[in-house]
Amino acid sequence: MPHNVELVDSLYHDHLKGWLERGVLKPNNVEVLPGGLEGVQAGFDRLEKGDVSMSKLVIRPQETA
């Protein structure tokens, strides 16, 4: 068992929820690209152009037509 399990367990159970509620930690913005796997190229194109900032692009392969 890793040595840091107790530390991670303590941070997760004792602090994470409060940090999120107070805005100390903020989750990434998420943008779901339409079209399943067909949306991957459009996402890459936007990344190359620098049109994506502080967001996580997500695809849902199950939505592929």
The pLDDT tens digits of the residues spanning 10-45 come to 888 888 889 999 999 988 899 999 999 999 999 999
**End-to-end C-alpha distance for the chain, whole angstroms:** 44
What domain range includes position 56?
A: 5-63
- And the tokens for 24? 């100390």
pLDDT in tens, 1-10: 567 777 788 8
Alpha helices in the chain (DSSP H): 5-10, 17-22, 40-49
Angstrom distances, CA of residue 40 to CA of 20, 26, 51 = 30, 26, 14
How many domains are contained in the chain?
1
What is the number of alpha carbons within 13 Å of residue 42 lying toward its C-beta? 12
